[in-house]
């Protein structure tokens, strides 16, 4: 889950990382009240959960309160990469001497966190790595030992700092790592963390992405996610509310299975036969008929879906429960799109009988079912 900039900065401030003084505006008429409490000039920033908002015109600057009001009104009338601007953050503009980058993310190949620092900030780190790879410093973090002050000072030294500035910058790196661990972050970064003209370091922008699997430990953000204030699609939100694992893809074959491994194998098999999956949906073990019906409704709400492949390998999940769920969804949702069903395992015969009596054909081979659904989708 992505946090808004203002949320990320509030957390950084709590951990002692300097950020510009600012305030949140939820409607343009509030701009004057917030801006008069700050020193001009101002930075006016659209709060959207997408990267690259600066290039998209989502960050404006103003020298006076009236100009700040004008800028805020402009942002509230914008969509940035398809996302409506609902909140604007106004802060004091920093007099910048140099922009730097520091972040912590997951290195999945090495199965550890990795700290990344660069003497070039303000750009996405991928751009910096592509254009000047020698300016990106990486440090793998041993998961048993963590990230310590000597690691932080080492990175600060490598991007060109020494003396008291090295100590201060290193302390900010340490604090950011602590935030990342406490908030179960997949990614946390200050981009840029700037060296101001007075020699101080300030996190001019901040980004935090929390691991969705850890949201139960961060109830305030989970609540916001479920209320729909996120970058997720309606299908993904509905899946979360119903404890289903769903990821939207760009194909036209809807996929429902039980178990992440089986669903991944189903996607691969569809692609092997030159088909294009529209989604990943795992109903999990022991899915009830009601859960199967909800899964069908979510998948079929995607207008791109031309055909549906239901692949069930019954263990904890009972095939007769799946069959009843399919019939329930067919009746309630009004399923008119063709379905290909593969049903094997616990109570398999009863499940097949229920579907056969409803004139729904059931297959046993995943390969045969995948071939058939690809043919239908074309």
Residues with catalytic function: 101, 189
Angle between helices 219-226 and 234-241 (to 10 degrees): 130
Q: Encoding tokens for residue 177?
A: 């790592």
Q: Encoding tokens for residue 243?
A: 């404890």
Q: Which residues contact 220 (CB under 8 A, 6 or more apart)?
A: none
What 3-state DSSP class applies to 244? coil
Return d(Cα 109, Cα 98) in angstroms, integer.
Answer: 32
Q: Count CB neighbours of 111 within 10 A.
A: 9
Kind of pairing, strands 253-257 and 307-314?
Answer: parallel
> What is the number of alpha carbons within 13 Å of residue 238 lying toward its C-beta?
16
Cis amide linkage into residue 41, ω under 30° from 0? yes
Contact 116, 137 (CB under 8 A): yes
Q: Which residues contact 184 (CB under 8 A, 6 or more apart)?
A: 210, 211, 214, 217, 218
Contact 116, 104 (CB under 8 A): yes
* First vs last C-alpha separation in the chain: 35
Q: Encoding tokens for residue 231?
A: 């970058």
What 3-state DSSP class applies to 268? helix
Return d(Cα 212, Cα 262) in angstroms, integer.
Answer: 21
Kind of pairing, strands 185-196 and 245-248?
Answer: unpaired
3-state secondary structure 178-215: HHHHHCCEEEEEEEEEEEECCCCEEECCEEEEECHHHH
Cis amide linkage into residue 192, ω under 30° from 0? yes
């Amino acid at each position: 889950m992505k946090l808004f900039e203002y949320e990320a900065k509030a957390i950084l401030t709590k951990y002692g990382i300097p950020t510009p003084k600012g305030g949140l505006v939820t409607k343009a008429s509030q701009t004057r009240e917030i801006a008069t409490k700050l020193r001009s000039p101002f930075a006016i920033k659209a709060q959207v959960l997408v990267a690259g908002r600066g290039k998209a015109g989502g960050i404006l600057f103003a020298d006076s309160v009236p100009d700040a009001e004008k800028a805020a009104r402009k942002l509230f009338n914008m969509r940035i990469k398809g996302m409506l601007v609902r909140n604007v953050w106004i802060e004091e503009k920093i007099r910048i001497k140099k922009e730097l980058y520091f972040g912590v993310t997951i290195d999945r190949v090495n199965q550890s966190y990795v700290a990344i620092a660069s003497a070039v900030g303000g750009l996405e780190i991928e751009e910096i790595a592509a254009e000047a790879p020698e300016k990106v410093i990486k440090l793998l973090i041993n998961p048993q030992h963590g990230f310590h002050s000597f690691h932080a000072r080492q990175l600060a030294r490598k991007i060109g700092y020494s003396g008291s500035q090295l100590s201060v910058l290193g302390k900010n790196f340490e604090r950011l790592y602590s935030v990342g661990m406490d908030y179960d972050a997949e990614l946390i970064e200050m981009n840029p963390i700037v060296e101001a003209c007075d020699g101080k370091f300030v996190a001019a922008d901040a980004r935090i992405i929390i691991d969705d699997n850890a949201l139960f430990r961060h109830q305030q953000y989970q609540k916001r996610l479920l209320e729909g204030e996120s970058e997720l699609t309606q299908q993904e939100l509905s899946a979360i509310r119903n404890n289903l694992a769903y990821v939207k893809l760009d194909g036209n074959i809807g996929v429902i299975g039980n178990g992440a491994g089986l669903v991944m194998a189903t996607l691969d098999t569809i692609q092997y036969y030159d088909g294009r999956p529209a989604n990943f949906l795992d109903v999990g073990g022991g899915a009830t008929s009601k859960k199967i019906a909800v899964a069908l409704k979510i998948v079929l709400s995607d207008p791109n879906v031309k055909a549906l492949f239901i692949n069930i390998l019954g263990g904890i999940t009972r095939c007769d429960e799946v069959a009843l769920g399919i019939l329930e969804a067919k009746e309630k949702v009004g399923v008119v799109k063709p379905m290909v069903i593969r049903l094997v395992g616990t109570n398999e015969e009863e499940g097949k009988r229920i579907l056969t009596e409803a004139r729904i054909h059931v297959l046993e081979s995943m390969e045969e079912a995948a071939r058939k659904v690809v043919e239908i989708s074309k």
